[in-house]
Every structure is written in C-alpha cells, then in structure tokens.
Amino acid sequence: MKKLLVALLFTVLLASVVQAQTFPTESEGAEDGGVNGNALAIIGIAIAVVLAGIGSAIGITISASYGLGAMHDNPDLFPQVLLLSALPGTQGIYGFVVGFLILLWSGIFGGGEPLTVARGWWFLFAGMPIGFSGLISGIYQGKVCATGIGLTVKDKAHVAKGMTLAAFVEFYAILGLLASVLVLLNIR
C-alpha cells in the first residue's frame, strides 16, 4: 500500500513538471492549446483534495473496522466508536477547504484570464502541505483512534483519553492546513 501511494505521488509530481516544461507558455506564443497556469492550479487542487481525502478514508476505515469488531460484543459503545471513527475525517475537510480556496483565489471558478505558469506553480505548491500532511496524518490518526477504541472497550470513561491522544496527530494536519493557507496568502 505504501509503495502504491509513493508511486502515485511521484507520478502526479512528475506529470505536472513534464506538462509545464513540454508545452509553450503564453509568453512563448501558446494559443488555446498551450499550457497555462490554470492546469497547474488544478493539479494543486487535486493534490490537496485527493491526497487528504485518501488519508481520511484510510484512517476512518482503520478505526471504524476496529470499532465494528468492538461493538459486536458491546453494542452500547456506538457513540464512543462514532466519535473516535470520525476524527480522521477532518483531514479530508482541510484538503477540501484548501482546494476550494485555490479554486476561488486563482480565478478559475470565475472564468477570468488564464493564470501565468509562475502563479500556477504557486497554487500547485499551495496544495502540497495539506495534501501530504492530510494523507499521512489521516492514516496514523486512524491507528491511534483504533487503539483508543480498544481502550474504550475496557472502560467507556477512557474515550476522552483516546480522543486527546488522537488530537496530537490532528495537530500536524492543522499545521499542513496552515502552511497551505500561508502559501496562498503570499501568492503575488
């Protein structure tokens, strides 16, 4: 699984570099068929939304699968399992927020003039911090939440401990969100 994710990330980055280097830019006489910064900004949106979404989906799968097994013997644990299983989903929300901000601030949504290649690269790089941090922290937060569910099975009062420890992993997704927003705020 890890090799597949690394290969996917490498392919996305390599494809964006090749696309930006192969086709002429607006200043080199590109017409409608040439690449512009919009393509790079869309790749930035995809990195933010898709990678953070994959991290959330995997994290939720890990914790919810463990939770379903725990509820087999203890069906009254549903509220606690629900809380701990939902936590890894926040990374996908952060990725969506950054993707939406790129869409709005790049002007792609409004149908304005095409972005320059340099601005397109800025928007692509703005999607990377939350994309990568959301992918990795979502998976590991799912593992921490699954362990928190195991602790909650022994005593319902321990659900807060599991949530607190899962929040430590969440902190790094928040840092990725912050880094992406700071890059977006500094695009000229």
Residue type, 5: L
Q: Is the pLDDT of residue 112 over 90?
A: no
What is the structure's pLDDT at 20?
52
What is the structure's pLDDT at 21?
52
Q: Is the pLDDT of residue 17 over 80?
A: no
Residue type, 43: I
Distance CA 170, CA 160 (A): 15
What is the structure's pLDDT at 28?
47
Q: Count CA atoms closer than 13 A to 60's CA, side-chain side.
A: 16
What is the structure's pLDDT at 36?
81
What is the structure's pLDDT at 98?
98
Average pLDDT of the chain to the nearest whole number = 86
Question: Which tens digit of pLDDT belongs to each residue from 142-166?
Answer: 999 999 999 999 998 899 999 999 9
Whole-number Cα distances in Å, 74 to 64, 68, 98, 126, 153: 14, 10, 39, 44, 8
Q: Is the pLDDT of residue 18 over 70?
A: no
Mean pLDDT across 36-44 = 92
What is the structure's pLDDT at 174?
97
Q: Is the pLDDT of residue 3 over 70?
A: no
Question: Which tens digit of pLDDT belongs to each residue from 125-135?
Answer: 999 999 999 99
The string of DSSP letters for 45-67 reads HHIIIIIHHHHHHHHHHHHHHHH
Q: Which helix (H) or strand (E) holds 167?
A: helix 159-185
Distance CA 65, CA 117 (A): 44
Q: Quote the pTM value.
A: 0.82
Helix 117-154 to helix 37-46 angle (10° resolution) is: 0
Mean pLDDT across 3-25 = 56
Q: Report the Cα–Cα distance between both ends of the chain, in Å, rounded.
A: 38
Question: Which tens digit of pLDDT belongs to each residue from 113-127?
Answer: 888 899 999 999 999
What is the token pair recorded at 47? Answer: 């990195």
Domains of the chain: 35-185 (1.20.120.610)
What is the token pair recorded at 5? Answer: 């994710």
